Structure 1
Amino acid sequence: MVRRYQKLSPAAVDEIWTRLRCGHAAKPIARQLGLPEGTVRAYLVRCGGIRPDPRRRASGRLSFEEREEISRGLAAGMSLRAIAAQLGRAASTVSREVATNGGRRRYRAHISDRQAWSRATRPKACKLATNPLLRAIVEEKLRRRWSPQQIAGWLKVSYAHDPEMQVSHESIYRTLFVQSRGALRRELTQYLRTGRVIRRPKGVRLPDGRGGRPNILHISERPPEAEDRAVPGHWEGDLVFGKNMSPVATLVERSTRFLMLVALPEGNHKAEVVADALAAAVTTLPTHLARSLTWDQGHEMAAHQQFTNATGIEVYFCDPKSPWQRGSNENTNGLLRQYLPRRIDFRTLTQADLDAIALELNERPRQTLGFKTPSQALAEVLR
């Protein structure tokens, strides 16, 4: 059975995009407009979540009024050159218009205008559709889970003198989401960090912080060198959770964005266990790469003094409900979800598994590092 969706009016289309920009999802939009949810969702998927540009007639094309003048001139027996002079157009333009639409005897203005409007819907092929080598490179990087922004930045550096081998991240996103462009297959969206098949507008998310804890060093007391990222060795940390609340500890170095993943024994995230696991991980670092650690106010770091006694590294705590104060770690945790989605029980992963994931992330270029990788940035620091 073929499912048929209700055709949307221009007013309904305007309302859908207005509500989408305000943060509404397809289901409440459909309910508020009295439309089937499948109709709204199918329309958004077809557009890739990107509003199509409104169709308009190009300024250099013949208008309907000019076609009426051509029709009247032909009926009066005027020559094509005389009609063109009357319109202020080239004789070849009028001659081509008449020949394309039936000749002198069969030319009709309204039919010619309708056919011209229909022919104008033919889309212009995008760069990825016309350049097989560039398309293959983009597909290969997407399969390696590079973001479109990382790909675009890398291409600009690697092919600095060849504009044909460069493409913007916006073009990559649009070609993925808008399938009518016919270059990148929708299956490649599974390699994006979010795995989405349509673009969603950015919305405001309320911070989800934890309550305050006694006897802590506040982030305002952190050395100024950690704030400006000029000196390496200042880390940000957090726990990410998988299925059945199975945790993994993440540590991100602020200046190089280098990532370390720490397995917790049997998924235990009690404070003493976390302190011992983190201490074992950071004691493998050179002294000049172990200066401070910034954490949120979660209960898993209640034994921060135990960690400091074992490592000599002070722990600084963010304000409640302020995850942006450890933004490098938050951003990296988002990238990490490509490898550690919430549906996986992290207790099934070994430290070797986590090291392999960290290695792959550390070899992905970052815009904030000038499209160097964290591994390259760390190597420069170590030299």
Structure 2
Amino acid sequence: MEEGLVARLLTAEHEIVVIDETPRFHVGAGKTWIMLGERTYEQVSQSRLALLAPGVRFIEAKVQNIGLSDRTASLGSESLKWNFLVIALGADLNPASVPGLAEPAHTFYTVEGAQRLKLALERFSGGEVAILIPKAPFKCPPAPYEAALLLHQAFERRGIGGKARLSIHTVEGTPMATAGPEMGQYIRGELAQRAIAFFPQRATARVDGTANRVVFNDGSEAQYDLLIAIPPHEAPKLVRDAQLTNQSGWIPVDPLTLQVKQPTDATEVYAVGDVTVVSLPGRYKPDIALSLPKAGVFAEAHGRIAAHQIAARISGRPCGEAFDGKGYCYLETGAKRAVKADGSFFDLPHPVMQKRTPDEAQMRDKLDWVERLLRPAR
């Protein structure tokens, strides 16, 4: 973890404190495995204390307020002073922002949701399975498509492939749009091979749980027997109340240093991961600006850069580390195969993402990656 990196870069006189309301960290990529009954929560999670380097203090608490003027973090019963602050609160899920969505929809975007969906899938014997992406951005852009491919395989294994019909209804114009048209076409091809219907540019108006239907802004509808949704994402209220967000709804940061851009006096505040918006220099279309996708690999890279930036400022030396816009993602295609796509998102004239043919070796790479993220540091 990057807190350990800061600890190694600084002398023992500096205290590093990590605050989180949950005692365990889980790898987001493992939630599809929970959904399918292939892993348990315990198998894709680790104690946060075990992941932190020796000497890093961990407080299990919920931050109630961020004080920028007095440099405090209120935990309710106590208030901590800080000299430098790194905000890594991720994205909150708000299904209630789509009328009617919360009650009938399942999701695998939370651990509890994946566990409930596992039970629903065990009871499912056939019918229409609609995967709904009502709003963007959302974290892990390939996840809904990976879920569709893995559900197709699961239904085939259970002998109900001919009875289950999968469809994806998304507000996106194409899958993983920031990764470019080639990646989008590849995913659409994988869906088509399995007869998974794909409906892009569908803005959701409401969900009618009584009639088991999704109603879209253009008047079209989709019937379902099982509805799986990617709940709308938003920045936590905590950072919105602190006026750290801009018109995008997220915290704007310097793309290279991850220092927050507003308010202007928050010079000792950094933000990393899903809670941020990182503008990209390139575009596929002149009139459509792009932002860095929300993904765990970027959160990890951001944390590393923020650690170097803070350590350099404390020690009074120049920092030679900057975020380079590079990252990767895995897309499982079934049959113990995966494809790893490597992206360079700061490239011009537009981001570049390269992939290989799915195989078992790339799946093993993904498993090794998850194992590394859960490896104890103490």
Query: Which has a greater percent of helix?
Result: 1
TM-score exceeds 0.5: no
| Structure exhibiting the larger radius of gyration computed from Cα positions | 1
- Which structure exhibits the higher relative contact order, with contacts defined as CA atoms closer than 8 Å and separated by 6 or more residues? 2
Query: Given the two structures, how large is their TM-score scaled by the length of structure 2?
Result: 0.28
Query: Which has a greater percent of strand?
Result: 2
Query: Given the two structures, how large is their TM-score scaled by the length of structure 1?
Result: 0.28
